Structure 1
Amino acid sequence: MTLLATVGAFAVARNLMRGAPPALPRALPGTLETVHGSRIGAVAFYASPERPGRPLLLIHSINAAGSAYETRPLYLHYRESRPVYAIDLPGFGFSERSRRRYTPRLMVEAIHAVVAEIRARHGGEPIDAIAISLSAAYLAKANLARPGDYASLGLVSPTGFDGRLSGEGPPDEHRGRDVVRSLLDRPVLGPTLFGALVSRASMRFFLEKTFGATKIDEGLLDYGYLAAHQQGAEHAPYCFIAGHLFPTDSTLAYERLRLPVWLVHGQRGDFTDFRLAPRFADRPNWLITSLPTGALPHFERLRAVTDAYDRFLAAIKPARSA
């Protein structure tokens, strides 16, 4: 009882002191636009379509403070040479953050909607797409559902190649536990735990584990802190913590990909278990790059990442033209 009273008092005090959430600036240059759907709600995306070429879509990862800012180095680099777009997935950034169940299917449908909008603006041609971490599984599933939408996929530190979260289970399901989500959704316990999770100290701790070093990208920390303190910011992370955003069939989805796939991952930090990668290394449509970085290599060695990706794209150009 004493513990519950303390937690409740802390939550009340925190809510009284918090006041209005801080304003969230735009994560990226270009225009900030929105597509809508009956299931996905309002989904925001950044657009920088001025340059000619094949469009590139960038998709951030899923965590307590996710947003398109995670794609910023790639976005800034490629907007100088080709049309580039970046999505805020449902529940994150400037997209709708309503209280609902967030699942892989919802994320895939949001990707479908943004890709359809991009293709409509560029003559209907297929696009290139790069996704980070857990969102790589969503991108793979989006490709399998609509293979004509994509020319190639890029996977940055993708979830599903390790021994713990690989997925060879039934398709279109998730690992969610409703009892966990229900506990988190309660007015005292959930906000208190979420507040601790998205404190600056906690976020720095998790970013250091992601980077595998005490040196992190401070801009990513600052923006993530603001993003995680917006109205409704807790709803998608509750589903993430409860497992609803983890597909049961990630590995099987990757195995079914037939278009060119580029995978890049780091060698440092808590996200370096790619024990299943050798299963894909000999496939003619896969190219795997390993770098001496953490799980966000584009923040540490952007040139190495873009050079590897550009070589991958150059190698598949003849197949595209055939």
Structure 2
Amino acid sequence: MAPRSRSLALAALGSAAAYAAWSRYRAARPAALPPALPGRRERLDTARAGGVSLYGSAEAEGTPLLLVHSINAAASAYEVRPLYLHYRTRRPVYALDLPGFGFSERSRRLYTPRLMVEAIHAVAGTIRARHGGVPLDAVALSLSAAYLARAVLERPDAYRSLGLISPTGFDARLSGEGPPDGHRGRDGVRDALDVPILGRALFDALVSRPSMRFFLQKTFGSARIDEGLLEYDQATAHQPGAEHAPFCFVAGHLFPTDTTRLYEDLRLPVWMIHGERGDFVDFHRAPRFADRPNWRIERLPTGAFPHFERPDAVTARYDAFLAAITAPPA
């Protein structure tokens, strides 16, 4: 190696080591994560998904509603906050932190769709046991829509209806008719990312405030993001172990191979809503489901999180869907 090249390589290595050291010892990380939602928060010790955090507000009567957040570098139950706040005075409402996020277990392990489905099974079972075993209504965001769809197919008696907000799997890239219950993970990518100290340094750069604002603007399709969501994303992404699930996300382990098949097999009432702006609004395969009698598909002039931008419109449409499926026959 030429002297100049050797000097540049050593300088780059030194910079990487310095940044890793700063990330390890100097990067600001909150000592405690505040709750994402009001109400009771508890930790369920599950056999297959580890410790799972569950928020609940059960003062009102009615059919319980389960809300499931999306998957990204800083996901948490805060992503369903507008829906949770709206419904907590109208019916029992619950929201979980999926494994690897929020207050749930963030251990260094392989995070896959199966792990997420097991967490949903455990939470749904707990909720039903507290409400006389009645079937639930459930709503999921983005990639988690596929996990919820699988949970519904595996335990159809546990659910009355399924809501999908900006669900993944209706574009050419992430639709799937591959092996059932599989994932798109590349172990080599995850191993390269998940290197102690250096991996955390890389993650800290990924979830820096400018980077996080950039990705939220892509999600909202606008510079007018929800600032409360940004602040909570900052807090949750700088907790110990926060990098493990996102590394599996980046490496593909959290993307199912059979998403399209899951949606096609659904027989219970399905409500789907999505936006029109931003980087996550490709739903060109949605028309194949629009004519199905159990599906209702709607859209709003928003980004991928319409419940943050137009909460009244989203809840009104969802309530109309539920009223239609529960109305007595004419």
TM-score category by the smaller chain? over 0.9
Number of corresponding residues: 321
Helix, strand or coil for the counterpart of 1:93?
Answer: coil
Is 1:187 the counterpart of 2:196 in the alignment?
yes
CA contact (8 A) 2:24 2:197 kept: no
Which residue of structure 2 lines up, in the alignment, with residue 171 of structure 1?
180
RMSD of aligned alpha carbons? 1.3
Q: TM-score, normalised by structure 2?
A: 0.95
In 2: Cα distance, 1:139 partner to 1:185 partner: 27
Q: Distance in 2 between matches of 1:22 and 1:286?
A: 45
Matched, 1:18 2:18: no
- Looking at CA atoms only, which structure, 1 or 2, has the larger radius of gyration? 2
The alignment partner of 2:327 has SS state of: helix
Other-structure match for 2:260: 251
Instruction: Report the Cα distance in structure 2 between the residues aligned to 1:19 and 1:34, rounded to whole angstroms.
Output: 26
The answer on whether the counterparts of 1:45 and 1:114 sit within 8 Å (CA) in structure 2 is yes
Q: Per-residue displacement from partner, 1:7-60 (whole Å, max 9, x unpaired)?
A: 121111222213654321001010001211232111001000110100000000
Alignment match of 1:38 (pick from 25, 36, 47): 47
1:315 equivalent to 2:327? Answer no
Which aligned pairs between 1:1-322 and structure 2 lie closer than 5 A? 1-2=9-10, 3-18=12-27, 21-318=30-327
CA distance in 1, matches of 2:136, 2:29: 39
What amino acid maps onto 1:289 in structure 2? E
Task: Find the aligned partners of 2:99 and 2:26 in 1 and give their Cα distance.
Answer: 28
Cα gap change, 1:195/1:19 in structure 2, threshold over 3 Å: closer, same or farther? closer
Offset of 1:188 from its aligned partner?
4.1
Whether contact under 8 Å (1:22, 1:229) holds in the other structure is no
Q: Which runs of 4+ in 1 moved over 6 A?
A: none
Secondary structure of the 2:183 match is coil
Q: Deviations over 1:114-143 (max 9, x none)?
A: 000000000001000000000000000000
Q: Which runs of 5+ in 1 are unaligned?
A: none
Give the conservation status (yes or no) of the 8 Å contact 1:167–1:252: yes
The 1:272/1:117 distance shift into structure 2, 3 A limit, reads: same
Which secondary structure state, in structure 1, belongs to the residue aligned with residue 62 of structure 2?
coil
Q: What CA distance in whole angstroms lies between the structure 2 residues aligned with 1:19 and 1:29?
A: 26
Given the superposition, is the C-alpha separation of residues 20 and 192 from structure 1 closer, same or farther in structure 2, using an over 3 Å criterion? closer
Q: CA deviation at 1:190?
A: 1.5
- Once the two structures are superposed, residues 227-261 of structure 1 have per-residue CA deviations (whole angstroms, 9 ceiling, x without a partner) of 00001000000100000000000011000000000
**C-alpha deviation, 1:5, in angstroms:** 2.7
Counterparts of 2:204 and 2:29 in 1: how far apart (Å)? 15
Q: Which amino acid aligns with 1:35?
A: L
The amino acid across from 1:299 in the alignment is F
The sequence identity of aligned pairs, in percent, is 68
